[in-house]
Amino acid sequence: MSLKLSKFPWHVVPSNNRDEGTDLYVTTSDANRHGVLGVQVKTGPSYFRRPKLDGEGVILGWWYYESSRRHFDYWTSHSAPHILVLYDEEADTAYWVHVTPDKVVSTGKGCKILVPAERKVDGDHRNDLLAVTHGRGSSPTLEGTAFWAGARNIAPEEQLRCALIAPRLVAPHRNAGNQKPITAVEAVALLAQGRFRALVAFAEEHPDVPDPREEPPEGGDWAWSFTAAIWDWATTDSVDRLRASFASAPGGREKAASGIFFACALQRVQSHGEGVEPQTRHSEAWAIIEGMVAGAEIGAS
């Protein structure tokens, strides 16, 4: 892989952060510019076992999947743009994709990305690789975020948190219409903004968007179940579905988001005691004392 990139000619340096998600750093250059590109290489036939085919059976690319979203978050948030390379040793051919948030597809538990069959590490695609390196601006632009914002522009591991605390950055813009289906995270952001009718409109327009007014299917995407739980709480004050979402959260970030939301819902209905799960009589006594101290501070009897 290093030999292929050095033929451009570019300087290739092995990375010390291979466990994090970077095998190589490449110094790219043309007549006027220089840049740095991060490269993660996956070698072997196992990475070509998930092809995407068109209607005639022609391979369009291969899906690369990981059960954890950690590497995808690392690649999309790194200061240097990163490409993922699938290397076919037998054919001595390498295929690549620029890892960006809009290309990463959530599977509910992990993430996947499509590596196109037409994108090869060769001289014909040298300018495409240069465009990846030089296409990233030197500083982020915040003006107009309501228009270009969306879950696709946020690292996968940060999407749910942003949907709850900064929904404007995730929810589709009001003027964008509902021609395209939304993700579960975008649905959560709509609810956080109080745009209940907009979510119903998306559900009525697209079969892939579950109607939050209906019971979610068992074994479905957890994020859609969480969306339905938020809807149920907002319209009935019931915390039962929120409790179930918290209990079934597949990962730490989902557990944190649903747990905080569940705790806030309990506070709203003044069921603070349900948020306490003492392990011993000592911990229960500690919780009671802390509650008394907090009550004294606000003048509660």
pLDDT at 138: 41
Read off the tokens for 139: 């500083």
For the chain (length 301 residues), average pLDDT per consecutive 10?
74 79 88 86 94 93 91 87 94 94 83 94 89 65 50 73 89 84 93 94 93 83 93 92 93 89 84 55 66 69 54
Helix (H) / strand (E) containing 28:
strand 24-29
Q: Which long-range contacts (CB under 8 A, 24 or more apart) does 229-232 make?
A: 229/258, 230/188, 230/191, 230/261, 231/191, 231/196, 231/199
| Domain spans, the chain | 2-134, 145-270
pTM of structure = 0.55
Read off the tokens for 107: 């599977």
Question: Cβ distance 189 to 204 under 8 Å?
Answer: no
Which amino acid, 34?
A: H
Domain 2-134 in CATH 1.10.287? The answer is no
Question: Cβ distance 186 to 171 under 8 Å?
Answer: yes
Measuring CA to CA, which residue among 167, 182, 152, 183 is closest to residue 76? 152
Looking at the chain, the number of H-run helices and the number of E-run strands are 11, 9
pLDDT at 11: 87
